[in-house]
């Protein structure tokens, strides 16, 4: 299992949108995907489609009978997929994690079980998938104006991260960005305004300090700017209208939200209001983890599997 | 000055999008708009357009020479507009506010001066525009799926509102919704998830308590639901996929964000990523206040003037 680190060369030419990202994962060749509690029709449909495209080789972990039922419900033929029997959710989570831990799978996906149950197994000190840093969620979406992907963190794992945690969240996002071929990533630390505003808005202080940390070279060649509101980060016209002089403003590639409500609402607005496609993965463990929601579209689920497969690294571990 | 209260009948047939909202303001007839520090080209252009459409009768407050220069820069003929001389920003703010206070204007707009300077004048105990409640920002945008407007609060005034403040923010938003002809408003209190999650996510507790307050009849006939993420609030398919049984889910008309970063980022994503039009006003004072940003488009500025004019009430006070 090779971990996607900041110095790992990109797995493929830089994908400029989610369609190219899926294509890059296909070109890379299949990664072995352990699905914890795979007895869910929509999940199985996405996994079967990803297998069909050559993105993954699934290992379905869970109660065989219920998995077969769910496959029938989804209208999917899963005869060619390996099934690893696990009677209940906790066992399924532990077994799927163990597959990655032991090198028998490359990445992990949440099926029909609570995120907390899966994360308990991931964080198990003996058989889990802890790495040096924290776990965080990274979403990837097609940018509105320019022909590239934009990353958003953290819409799902870290609720109200303090300053030190934000450093780790950015570190994880940068590893992800570099794995996607983004060199010298441009990071916008989001807030509601572009200026330090204390004591009213503590998010602006964190953003200011993260920017200074970036200027000191802490994040390598990544360029970190903020505080910055979303329009200043994404729109060249609006950042110009606001008189911002940063190289990141209007051209951000990584958006760091101050809290989970901001990131989650932005994620949902991208899919529900803007109708753009999106992908997401939990990163920071020894392997990327696909944690889709029941409300995600089939395309989002497929995108997310492709993203996680691509983040596995260049070298299959088989 | 008639204030838009919960029991005030709607000014016009319910506008179903921002174009209809502008049309409703036009049909209502002009309201007298005091512009504080009017020496800004984009602001003057929006005001001139609003006057041309019959939405407002402007009173430009500020340094006459600079106002005339800005009008020339904008290519606008402002000969027909009244100008009230005010040498500096603080004086312009106080004079514009005083016009409304004295009944010589119906609503207020921020020109080229800091929001804080304007708000100091608005909150002045002697000549200001304080009402019973707090000030809050309400944005209005065209909903993605269904033919209606959706309100969003608070993207600009209240940073990290506590529970009691959220009650007042909702009260203000409901008065706005009813003024726009929305009967029995459906209010979604946003969070990152749909369940109470303590101690991790305090926003879910506020949402739960606001829902219960609504069930007790505190907000009249408004229906309040939450905690709810944005897709559950706006998408019938996704709220169904999540198994939510509320009448609000998938059909929300008012979105209440847990903090300013969430609301501001959502506001910006609507304009910058989804490319929908939007309008905004500060409500809760004795008159609505137009507080647009330099980065707002001319159309957003016009929409916002129309929204504020419509919120002034049915009866011109002339």
Tell whether A191 is within 8 A of chain B (Cβ): yes
Q: What is the ipTM of this complex?
A: 0.93
- Phi first, then psi, for residue A62 (nearest 5°) are 155, -165
Beta strands across the sheet bearing A289-290: A82-85, A56-62, A31-36, A107-110, A289-290, A278-283, A136-142, A149-153, A254-256, A186-190, A223-228
Q: Measuring CA to CA, how many Å separate B248 from each of B173, B230, B236, B240?
A: 16, 12, 10, 12
Tell whether B234 is within 8 A of chain A (Cβ): yes
pLDDT tens profile A220-257: 999 999 999 999 999 999 999 889 988 999 999 999 99
Instruction: Nearest by CB to A272, from B231, B257, B271: name it.
Output: B231
**Is the pLDDT confidence value at A1 over 70?**
no
Given this model, what pLDDT does residue B10 score? 46
Mean pLDDT of A117-126: 95
Given this model, what pLDDT does residue B13 score? 75
Given this model, what pLDDT does residue A143 score? 83
Given this model, what pLDDT does residue A9 score? 47
Q: Is the pTM of this model over 0.90?
A: yes
pLDDT tens profile A60-86: 999 999 999 999 999 999 999 999 999
Do residues A112 and A37 make contact, with C-beta atoms less than 8 angstroms apart? yes
Given this model, what pLDDT does residue A147 score? 83
Contact B266 A270 (CB under 8 A): no
In chain A, at which residue ranges do the beta strands (DSSP E only) sit?
Answer: 31-36, 56-62, 82-85, 107-110, 136-142, 149-153, 186-190, 223-228, 254-256, 278-283, 289-290
Do residues B147 and B16 make contact, with C-beta atoms less than 8 angstroms apart? yes
Q: Sign of the C-alpha dihedral, residues B237, B238, B239, B242? A: positive
List per-residue pLDDT tens for chain B, 318 residues long: 344 444 444 444 799 999 999 999 999 999 999 999 999 999 999 999 999 999 999 999 999 999 999 999 999 999 999 999 999 999 999 999 999 999 999 999 999 999 999 999 999 999 999 998 899 999 999 986 668 899 999 999 999 999 999 999 999 999 999 999 999 999 999 999 999 999 999 999 999 999 999 999 999 999 999 999 999 999 999 999 889 988 999 999 999 999 999 999 999 999 999 999 999 999 999 999 999 888 889 999 999 999 999 999 754 333
Instruction: Nearest by CB to A203, from B200, B235, B261: name it.
Output: B261
Mean pLDDT of A40-57: 97
**Is the pLDDT confidence value at A277 over 70?**
yes
Closest CA to A173 of A262, A105, A252: A252
Return the residue of A nearest to B142 by Cα. Answer: A273
**Is the pLDDT confidence value at A8 over 70?**
no
Chain A residues in contact with B237 (beta carbon < 8 A): 295
* Arithmetic mean of pLDDT over chain A: 93
In degrees, rounded to 5, the angle at the alpha carbon of residue A178 between the alpha carbons of residues A175 and A183 is: 140
Tell whether A258 is within 8 A of chain B (Cβ): yes
Closest CA to B121 of B87, B138, B98: B98
Q: How far is B2 from chain A (nearest CA, A)?
A: 32
Q: How far is A101 from chain B (nearest CA, A)?
A: 29
Q: How far is B19 from chain A (nearest CA, A)?
A: 18
Given this model, what pLDDT does residue A22 score? 97
Token output for A153: 């963190």
Contact A266 B261 (CB under 8 A): no
State the pLDDT confidence band at A318, using cuts at 50, 70 and 90: very low
- Most confident by average pLDDT, A141-145, A290-294, B182-186: B182-186
DSSP code at position B235: -
Contact A230 B264 (CB under 8 A): yes
Q: Are strands B254-256 and B289-290 parallel, antiparallel or unpaired?
A: unpaired
d(CA A255, CA A285): 21
> How big is the A-B interface in CB pairs under 8 Å?
128
């Amino acid at each position: 299992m090779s971990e996607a680190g900041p110095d790992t060369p990109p797995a493929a030419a830089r994908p400029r949108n989610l369609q190219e990202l899926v294509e890059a994962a296909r070109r890379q060749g299949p990664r072995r995907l352990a699905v914890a509690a795979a007895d869910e029709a929509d999940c199985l449909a996405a996994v079967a489609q990803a297998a069909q495209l050559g993105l993954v080789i699934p290992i379905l972990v869970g109660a065989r009978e219920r998995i077969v039922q769910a496959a029938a419900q989804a209208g999917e033929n899963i005869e060619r997929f390996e099934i690893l029997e696990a009677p209940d959710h906790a066992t399924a989570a532990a077994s799927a994690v163990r597959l990655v831990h032991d090198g028998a799978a490359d990445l992990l996906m949440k099926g029909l079980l609570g995120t907390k149950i899966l994360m308990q197994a991931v964080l198990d000190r003996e058989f889990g998938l802890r790495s040096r840093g924290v776990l965080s969620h990274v979403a990837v979406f097609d940018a509105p104006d320019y022909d590239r992907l934009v990353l958003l963190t953290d819409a799902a794992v870290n609720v109200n991260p303090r300053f030190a945690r934000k450093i780790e969240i950015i570190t994880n996002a940068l590893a992800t960005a570099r794995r996607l071929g983004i060199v010298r990533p441009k990071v916008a630390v989001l807030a509601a305004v572009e200026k330090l505003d204390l004591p009213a808005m503590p998010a602006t202080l964190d953003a200011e300090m993260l920017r200074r940390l970036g200027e000191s070279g802490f994040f390598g060649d990544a360029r970190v700017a903020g505080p910055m509101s979303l329009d200043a980060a994404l729109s060249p016209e609006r950042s110009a209208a606001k008189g911002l002089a940063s190289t990141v403003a209007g051209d951000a590639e990584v958006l760091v939200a101050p809290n989970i409500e901001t990131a989650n609402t932005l994620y949902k607005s991208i899919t529900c209001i803007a109708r753009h496609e999106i992908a997401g993965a939990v990163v920071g463990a020894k392997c990327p983890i696909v944690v889709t929601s029941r409300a995600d579209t089939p395309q989002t689920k497929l995108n997310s599997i492709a993203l996680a497969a691509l983040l596995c690294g260049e070298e299959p571990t088989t």
